Amino acid sequence: MSAAPVLSETRDGYRVVTLNRPERLNAFNIALHEALADAIHEAERDRTTRALLITGAGRAFCSGQDLNDRIMQNGNIAAAGESLRTHYNPLVRKLRALPFPVVAAVNGVAAGAGCNFALACDIVLAARSATFVEAFARIGLIPDAGGTWFLPRLVGSARARGMALLAEPISADKAEEWGLIWKAVADDALMSEAERICVQFAKAPTYALALTKQAFDSAGHNDLETQLRLEYDLQKRAGMSPDFAEGVRAFVEKRKPNFTGSRTRR
Ligand code: T3D
């Protein structure tokens, strides 16, 4: 029996999802896509989930599309593109829309769609030995899974074009220096640091964090006036949440807040 392509573990207030095809550096095939979509769906359905941690088994985070699957039985190469519609685009949309933060713990190489999948997460932590490579140009494709959207926004046009057109690996330290990711940490500290962040998120005002994600994503296409109006709408919603009342009371009473993450007052 072959191993499950994705492992999912429930922790106190968050879930850990591990891509589990280490022999292919956790490359995406249909089974992995489907198992990952199921794991994310389960996390979302579980009302106690307040953060998601995604990492890879073995020495890699994810090497993008499994290229073995692109060679058909007759030896021809399958047309690229359809998998974006059926799997990659829904995955990126889902990660951005989840009502809690998603932390990527990039434990090793993140290549192709595996790199952009990591960049779609809210917080990207990387082991110092990890690398980020927009490998697409090496095989005659363009960056997908949101890469052409994320890269220039994160690192600016010059570095985005360099990464995409040259397809050279970027070290975790350089990724942090460029603002591609949140932080590079020592290899043996990666999981403990990612878990520490998820424990923090599990006690956070989750509804406000979900609205914050929404505000940042809209800022990508809004002008300032539209964004100010959106902040007004979202802040009114955050202000109606029990966590706002609790946050203010805790501050005044000089104690730690006890956030429920809920959007409505009971
Ligand atoms: O419809 C569509 O297909 C469009 C969608 C496209 C999305 C994409 O992601 S396109 C980009 C696909 N990914 C790549 O091009 C990256 C391919 N992999 C690599 O360039 C290198 O493996 C890495 C830079 C990621 C790591 O290099 P290295 O030297 O550390 O490891 P390796 O020796 O190359 O790989 C180890 C094994 O994993 C090896 O298998 P073997 O020889 O031990 O049996 C290798 O073939 C396998 N592997 C790595 N990446 C993939 C893979 N097998 C299938 N697909 C992969 N993507």
Residue ID of nearest Cα to ligand 1 atom 2: 80
pLDDT in tens, 176-190: 999 999 999 999 999
Report the pLDDT value the prediction gives residue 266, as an integer from 0 to 100: 43
Ligand 1: does its nearest atom lie under 6 Å from the Cβ of 183? no
CA distance 160 to 157: 5
Cα 149-183-55 angle, rounded to 5 deg: 75
Domain ranges of the chain: 6-202, 206-253
pLDDT beneath 50: ranges in the chain: 265-266
Q: Tell which residue, 14, 16, 18, 15, has the closest CA to residue 6.
A: 18
CATH of domain 6-202: 3.90.226.10
Residue ID of nearest Cα to ligand 1 atom 4: 80
Parallel, antiparallel or unpaired: strands 170-171 and 123-127: unpaired
Report the pLDDT value the prediction gives residue 1, as an integer from 0 to 100: 66
Helices (H), 68-140: 82-83, 89-97, 113-119
Compute, in angstroms, the gap from residue 114 CA to the centroid of ligand 1: 10
Compute, in angstroms, the gap from residue 216 CA to the centroid of ligand 1: 32
* Helix orientation angle between 157-166 and 147-155, rounded to the nearest 10 degrees: 130
Type of residue found at 170: I
Ligand 1: does its nearest atom lie under 6 Å from the Cβ of 63? yes
Q: Give the CATH class of 206-253.
A: mainly alpha
Give the nearest ligand 1 atom to 133 CA. Answer: 24
pLDDT in tens, 21-32: 999 999 999 999
Tell me the Cα Rg of the chain: 19
User: Which of helix, strand or coil describes residue 101?
Assistant: coil
pLDDT in tens, 95-136: 999 999 999 999 999 999 999 999 999 999 999 999 999 999
Ligand 1: does its nearest atom lie under 6 Å from the Cβ of 66? yes
